[in-house]
Each structure stands twice: as structure tokens, then as C-alpha cells.
Amino acid sequence: MRTLVGAIGYRYLRDHSVAFAVLERLAALDLGADVLLEDVSYNPIAVVQWLESLEPGTTFDRVILVSGIERAGRVPGAVTIRTWDRVLPSNELIQEAIAEAVTGIISLDNTLVIAGYFRALPALVTLVEIEPVDHAFGAELSPAVAQAVEIATTTIRDLTCVREISR
């Protein structure tokens, strides 16, 4: 099963850089030839174009996206794993997501909305979200988010070991 593990975030924006710390840890592991680690923080339209340009046999059966993202009610450093529900917002909100992407906004939610709208993602999309604390400029993660890196890395490693989609 070909798997894309994609990091979405801002480099050097403290806890919003956590996805890259996770990808660095994963790169040190032997995840197998069918797992591609990739920074997908660039424009979601470009991500869609890249996914659509893949030749048969090189497309992905599963995508795992990791990001530092704020969600109401979560404690700092919390790691939340969920399957993307594929629910898209109204056409007006999809258009807003595209406009934000064009202006350089980097967001897990925008990437999902845009790639979902264009049907560029496989059936199985897993989200690994880490609740950020610090939004200041810099490379160092807050202590709570630094601890979450190991949890997220282990979780993603375990997810990539699952070779078949159960139906």
C-alpha cells in the first residue's frame, strides 16, 4: 500500500513547525519503500496538481497528514488522530479556501477542502493533529509540543505498518 505522509505547517514558527520535527524523526526510521515523506505545506492547488500528475502505479492508496493546528477544547500538546470525514463546506467557503491558498495561507483545513473538492485524495486520509502552544518566530518547540513529537512519530510509524485497508 503506497502511503504519503505529508507535513503541513510553517517552518520557524515554533509550534506550527511541529510537523517537520515529526517528519525528521520518521525519516530516521525504516518505513519501507512504499512510504513517501513529503512537505506538502505549499499551495494546496499545487498539491492537487502534483497528486493528479502522478503516473499510474505511483499514486497513493493512503495519505497521512500531520500538522500543528488549533482546535477548541484541546490541551496544549494534545495529539489527535482521526480519519478525515470528507465533508466539504459550501461552495462559497470552498472559494474562500482557494482565495486564502492563493494568498499564501498554509493550513491543514484549506489543503483538505481544496484537495477534497478536486477529488485528489485517496479514500483513506488520516489526520494527526498536534495542539500548538507558541506562535512566535523561532525553531524551538514548546515543551508540551516537543513531547508530542514522539507520540505522533510512533503513531504514524504504526499506521504505516498497516498494509491493508479493512472494509
Note the pTM of the prediction, 2 decimals.
Answer: 0.93
Specify if 92 maps to a domain.
Answer: no
Band of residue 162 on the pLDDT scale cut at 50, 70, 90:
low
In a domain, 104, yes or no: no
CA distances from residue 30 to 40, 56, 114 in whole angstroms, order as listed: 21, 25, 31
- pLDDT, tens digit, 9 for 90 and up, residues 37-61: 999 998 899 999 999 999 998 999 9
94: pLDDT strictly greater than 70: yes
Question: Which CATH number does the domain housing residue 21 bear?
Answer: 3.40.50.1450
The reply to whether 148 falls in a domain is yes
pLDDT band at 167; cut points 50, 70, 90: very low
- Per the structure, the count of domains in the chain is 1
- The reported pLDDT for the residue numbered 72 is 94
Q: Does residue 136 sit within a domain?
A: yes
Q: Quick check: is 37 in a domain?
A: yes
Nearest one of 145, 105, 148 to 14, comparing CA atoms: 145
